[in-house]
Structure 1
Amino acid sequence: MEFIMLLLVLLVVVIALVASRFIDNSNPFQVQRKASLLSPVERSFLGLLEKAVQKEYRIVNRVKLADVLDIRDNVSEKYRRSTLLKLNAKYLDYVLCEPDSMKVIAVLDLVNTKSKEGHKALPDWFVSGALEAAGVPYLRIGIKAGYTVSELQAALAMKLGKPAPKVEPMYKGLVKKGPTRPIRSFKPVPAANTPIAGKLMAPALSHSQIKAQTTALIQAS
């Protein structure tokens, strides 16, 4: 009796496994759309990077290393196959290109160095070495809060061998553009003998009149 019960249990398990395989294979596309192409951090950094380049470069995301680098002609077929596998397996976060020719100018990777398991926390010797051999500037930028456009522009300029952008001095949180002048009041001056709050307003004196009166007082004393 126990043997028969065991056979029934095994039969039920086998039927369930077969049914599950049949259901899964009925639709070969067991996938769904992601909520967003970029993570919130990547999307925020992209907006900052777009402001930093100021339309000087076009930014392309999630690019294969094989799309940036090509293998030289004078190499063996064995080396070509192994290198091509590595190039296709590596992805770059941001690639700066010339707007018209789409020539690659620089590569940026956004890295999370808070832990060893973070996004690209450990440098990839193949990526950095291959880009350096091809003469493509490569920047690894750590994830942090509070990045400014000027900081990113300075990092790009240093890596690309360009002069750093001039940053105007800050004064109490505001940009101080130069010396300021006292603002003249736009309030109209009351005319002479105009009553204000029950009193007559004395006529306004010019600078020469005031000086003459002062001289007369000194002489009189």
Structure 2
Amino acid sequence: MEFVLLLLVLLVIVVAMVASRFIDNSNPFQVQKRASLFSPVERSFLGLLEKAVSNEYKILNRIKLADLLDVRPQAADKAKRSINLKLNAKYLDFVLCRPDDLQVVAVVDLVNNSSKDGHKAAPDWFVSGALETAGIPYLRIKIKAGYTAADLQSALAAKLGKPAPVVEPLFKGLVKKGPTRPVRSLKPAVTPVNSLTPVLSHSQIKAQSTALIRAS
């Protein structure tokens, strides 16, 4: 009797497991919305990158390496299959393009090497080698605090062989500027002793004043 009960219990458990698995697999869309498209670090970096490139380039995000590169026609079939698998498995964080024809100008990968398992902490020899072969400049920029748009402009200019941007010096506090016009002294003017203008005595000044009153 006990053996029969045990078999019934096991049968119920097996049926429940099969039923739950069947119910889960009945819906082909076992998905849910992600909380955010970008992480806070990615959003912050994207804002700086947009300021750095201004309207000079358009920024595309999370592009497959296969969207940028094609396998050479003369490659062997086995090599084509292997390379295509790698190209489709690699994603690039930011791709800079010309705004008029969307021609690729450069690729920027954001590197978080705060730990050994950080995002793209280890350089990917296939990505860097493939982009170098195709003649596409590739920048790996490490995450750190204090980045400015000017820092990214300088890094991009150096990689693209452009002149470094002129950065306005930043001054903290008030800056004392020189006078823009002559400054009048606050001290009373002192007539020099050897001046060409004659110095009159008190009696001479009084006599001149009397003469002026009579003349008027």
Identify the TM-score tier after normalising by the shorter chain.
Answer: 0.7 to 0.9
Residue identity matched to 1:132: E
Aligned to 1:85: 85
| 1:176-215 alignment runs, 5 A limit | 180-182=177-179, 211=189, 214-215=191-192
What residue ranges of structure 1 are gaps of 5+ in the alignment? 185-205
* SS of residue paired to 1:108: strand
* SS of residue paired to 1:92: strand
**Is structure 2 residue 156 aligned with structure 1 residue 163?**
no
Residue identity matched to 1:180: K
**Is structure 2 residue 52 aligned with structure 1 residue 52?**
yes
CA distance in 1, matches of 2:194, 2:172: 47
Measured at CA, do residues 215 and 31 of structure 1 come closer, stay the same or move farther in structure 2, by a change above 3 Å? same
CA distance in 2, matches of 1:133, 1:173: 50
* SS of residue paired to 1:171: coil
| 1:91-110 alignment runs, 5 A limit | 91-110=91-110
Aligned to 1:203: none
Aligned to 1:142: 142
Deviation readout 1:153-193 (Å, 9 max, x if unpaired): 1000000000111112232268x7xx834589xxxxxxxxx
CA distance in 2, matches of 1:104, 1:112: 24
CA distance in 1, matches of 2:5, 2:14: 14
CA RMSD of aligned residues (A): 2.5
Residue identity matched to 2:58: R
* SS of residue paired to 1:106: strand
CA distance in 1, matches of 2:166, 2:128: 30
Higher relative contact order (CA 8 A, sep 6+): 2
Residue identity matched to 1:168: E
Deviation at 1:8, TM superposition (A): 2.2
CA distance in 2, matches of 1:155, 1:9: 68
* SS of residue paired to 1:153: helix
Equivalenced residues, count: 193
Tell me which structure has the larger Cα radius of gyration. Answer: 2
Aligned to 2:71: 71
CA distance in 1, matches of 2:179, 2:92: 54
TM-score, scaled relative to structure 1: 0.79
CA distance in 1, matches of 2:36, 2:191: 79
Deviation at 1:215, TM superposition (A): 3.2
* SS of residue paired to 1:34: coil
Measured at CA, do residues 3 and 217 of structure 1 come closer, stay the same or move farther in structure 2, by a change above 3 Å? farther
Aligned to 2:24: 24
CA distance in 2, matches of 1:5, 1:181: 101
Measured at CA, do residues 173 and 141 of structure 1 come closer, stay the same or move farther in structure 2, by a change above 3 Å? farther
CA distance in 1, matches of 2:107, 2:93: 8
